[in-house]
Amino acid sequence: MATKLEYIWLDGYKPTQSLRSKTKIVKEFSGKVEDLDNWSFDGSSTEQAPGGSSDCILKPVFVVPDPQRKSAYLVMCEVLSADGKPHESNGRATIADDDNDFWFGFEQEYFLWDPSTSKPLGFPAAGYPAPQGPYYCSVGAKNAFGREIVEEHLDACLEAGLNVEGINAEVAAGQWEFQIFAKGAKEAGDQIWVARYLLERIGEKYGVAINWHCKPLGQLDWNGSGMHANFSNTTLRTANSKEIFTAICESFRPAVAECIAVYGADNDQRLTGKHETASIHDFSYGVSDRGASIRIPLYAVDHNWSGYLEDRRPNSAADPYKVAAVIIKTVKSAKL
């Protein structure tokens, strides 16, 4: 039986890359990524190559069954230049985690967006719904909007084999979240991107857009969207030391500009010091502090200062590959 392979990649648009994909038909496929061939595409149509030398290469790096098509797979790819080297838009290639020592759990927030009103689901065409408060983890038609999309997405992710650890309605009306965890930074990024792809495709079915912008409602009194990055390595998981946690948190202080540069466009609109964020102009960390740049979870304290940290600054549109890469680089720079 013929098999559909959906090759998925990130384009070269700045400051925020978008998902692209195209279908390849093969007669047989084992289901293993190592049995997938490289493929090419027109980089001049994706801001990744000039028209006179337009071929870019898709290198498959992660594959899962496609739960929405018959005899099909989703293939996440890195983009290579024609010479076989990683393209400048290829954030995955910058991750220094070949031994998968780093574990990441990303909390991906987003808005379900009504194209006809240019507002989130649950917002009236004119004006606004009741102030935020009743929407977080809500139930019922008065407060929860778009659940059928969210549930279909959850089922699709689980059927594909993605390691989704939970979902919930978020603080603003029409805002939702899913969480994905993986042992290995590259796979964590792969899974987030495939999950985003599935959500976008399900949204097409309902005529609902997915708004990844970190502050789509501007400076009105509504929460923005983040992609909080929970991370650990062997050092953190086995620290048994408050001093080690402090040293790793402090390693982020001189790296603030480098981190913010890849934590998503327009983050100054979200990191205001309000709505459970630290100001983009400050750096802070604290136990159980959701208003800090980096939260030290109670879990770590309760386990004799062993566990993980949460960087709350990455926003919903950030590239998880680039986020993971800078976090790994910074943690490795810590003076222990």
Domain 103-332: which CATH number of 3.40.50.300, 3.30.590.10, 3.30.70.1350, 2.40.30.10: 3.30.590.10
Q: Tokens for 95?
A: 């991750």
Q: What is the spatial distance between Cα 128 and Cα 140, in angstroms, rounded to a whole number?
A: 18
Q: Where are the domains of the chain?
A: 3-90, 103-332
Q: Is residue 100 a contact partner of residue 232, using CB atoms and an 8 Å limit?
A: no
Residue 276: predicted pLDDT? 82
Q: What is the pLDDT of residue 325?
A: 98
Position 213 scores a pLDDT of 98
How many other CB atoms are found less than 10 A from the CB of residue 200?
A: 16
For residue 274, what pLDDT is reported?
A: 86
Give the Cα separation of 267 and 280 in Å (integer).
8
What is the structure's pLDDT at 43?
A: 97
- For the chain, the farthest-separated pair of C-alpha atoms sits apart, in whole angstroms, at 60
Same fold, 3-90 and 103-332: no
The whole model's pTM is what? Answer: 0.97
| Predicted pLDDT of residue 273 | 87
Quote the Cα angle for 111-223-290, to 5°: 120
Which tokens sit at 117? Answer: 């009103």
Residue stretches of the chain with pLDDT short of 70:
none
* Residue 314 pLDDT: 98
How far is Cα 80 from Cα 92, in angstroms, rounded to an integer?
11
Q: Which CATH architecture has domain 3-90?
A: Roll (3.10)
284-319 burial by CB neighbour count: b if 16+ within 10 A, else e?
Answer: ebeeebeebbbbbeeebeeeebbbbbbbbbbbbbbb
Residues 153, 176: contact at Cβ < 8 Å? Answer: no
Structure confidence at residue 228 (pLDDT): 98
CB 262 within 8 A of CB 326: yes
